[in-house]
Chains A and B, each alone.
Chain A
Amino acid sequence: EVQLVESGGGLIQPGGSLRLSCAASGLTVSDNYMSWVRQGPGKGLEWVSVIYRDSGTSTNYADSVKGRFTISRDNSKNTLFLQMNTLRVEDSAVYYCARVQKRGAYGMDVWGPGTTVTVSS
C-alpha cells in the first residue's frame, strides 16, 4: 500500500524553528516529485514547496515561505523533510506532504493525513 505519514508538528513560539518529516512507504521519494501543502484553520489549501526527482536537488517555494523554509529528502530513509525557520503566526496550519503524479497535469495523488503546526506565544 502506498502511504505517506507526516510527523514533527507542534506548538512553537514565533521566530522558532520546526522540522517536519514525511515517511513514505510503497513509493520511493527520490523517484517522485514531492510537495508540501498547508491549510490554515478554516482556510483553503496553500502550496508550500516541491522537490523534484532524480539526482539533483532542484526545489521551488511559495513566496510566503521562500528564504525561511527548506525542503529536502533522505533517500536512505525514504523520507521527505520540511525545515521551517523564523516561524510566524500565519504559518499555523495543517501541513500535508503529497506525491505529485507523473502523468497529466501534475496532480497530487497521494497525501499524508497531515501534521498540525501552531505558532503562538
Chain B
Amino acid sequence: DIQMTQSPSSLSASVGDRVTITCRASQSISNYLNWYQQKPGKAPKLLIYAASSLQSGVPSRFSGSGSGTDFTLTISTLQPEDFATYFCQQSYGTSPSFGGGSKVEIK
C-alpha cells in the first residue's frame, strides 16, 4: 500500500500569510494526487486534482505542484475562511489513501 506523509501536521499563520503544506508518497504516484479542505463537522471539499489542477469554484489563491513522490499545496494569501484542515490523497492504483492532515490555525 502507498503511504502518504504530510507536513507539518499543524501550523499557525496570520491572515495574509503565504502557507505551504507538503505531501510525500512512499512510491511514485505520477500526478495522481488530490488536495482537500475540511472544516470542523463538515465533509471534505476537493480543492486541487491531478496535483496542480484547480477544481471548479475554488479560489485562485490555492495552487498545487509536484509529481512523482513530492507534492505541495500553497495558499498564496491566507484568508479567514481558509483556517481548516487539509488532506492530500493519492489515487494511483486501486487503493486510494490519505495523508494524516495539516491543520491551519490562527496565530
Query: Do these two chains interact?
Result: yes
Asked if B32 and A106 make an inter-chain contact with CB atoms under 8 angstroms apart, the answer reads: yes
Asked if B87 and A44 make an inter-chain contact with CB atoms under 8 angstroms apart, the answer reads: yes
B63 close to A (CB within 8 Å): no
B46 close to A (CB within 8 Å): yes
Asked if A105 and B91 make an inter-chain contact with CB atoms under 8 angstroms apart, the answer reads: yes
Name the contact of A105 in the complex, choosing from B31, B38, B45, B100 (C-beta under 8 A): B31
- Chain B interfacial residues counted at CB < 8 A: 29
B23 close to A (CB within 8 Å): no
Asked if A104 and B44 make an inter-chain contact with CB atoms under 8 angstroms apart, the answer reads: no
Q: How far is the CA of A75 from the CA of B63 in the complex (A)?
A: 37
Contacts of B45 in A (CB 8 A): 111
A46 close to B (CB within 8 Å): yes
Chain B residue at minimal CB-CB distance from A103: B49
Asked if A47 and B95 make an inter-chain contact with CB atoms under 8 angstroms apart, the answer reads: yes
Asked if A104 and B50 make an inter-chain contact with CB atoms under 8 angstroms apart, the answer reads: yes
Given A44-B100, A45-B89, A109-B55, is A101 in contact with B95 using a C-beta cutoff of 8 Å? no
- Which A39-53 residues have C-beta < 8 A from chain B? 44-47, 50
A62 close to B (CB within 8 Å): yes
Asked if B46 and A47 make an inter-chain contact with CB atoms under 8 angstroms apart, the answer reads: no
Smallest CB separation, B45 vs chain A (Å): 8
Given A106-B32, A111-B44, is A60 in contact with B91 using a C-beta cutoff of 8 Å? no
Asked if A46 and B98 make an inter-chain contact with CB atoms under 8 angstroms apart, the answer reads: yes
Contacts of A111 in B (CB 8 A): 43-45
A107 close to B (CB within 8 Å): yes
> What is the interface of chain A, defined by CB distance below 8 A to chain B?
35, 37, 44-47, 50, 60, 62-63, 96, 98, 101, 103-109, 111-114
Since A46-B98, A96-B43 are in contact, a sample of 9 more A-B pairs with Cβ atoms closer than 8 Å, ordered by chain A residue number, is A45-B38, A45-B87, A60-B94, A105-B34, A107-B49, A107-B55, A107-B89, A108-B46, A114-B43
Task: List, sorted by A's number, 20 A–B pairs whose CB atoms are closer than 8 Å.
Answer: A37-B44, A44-B98, A45-B87, A47-B98, A96-B43, A103-B49, A105-B31, A105-B33, A105-B34, A105-B91, A107-B49, A107-B50, A107-B55, A107-B89, A108-B36, A108-B46, A108-B89, A111-B44, A113-B42, A113-B43
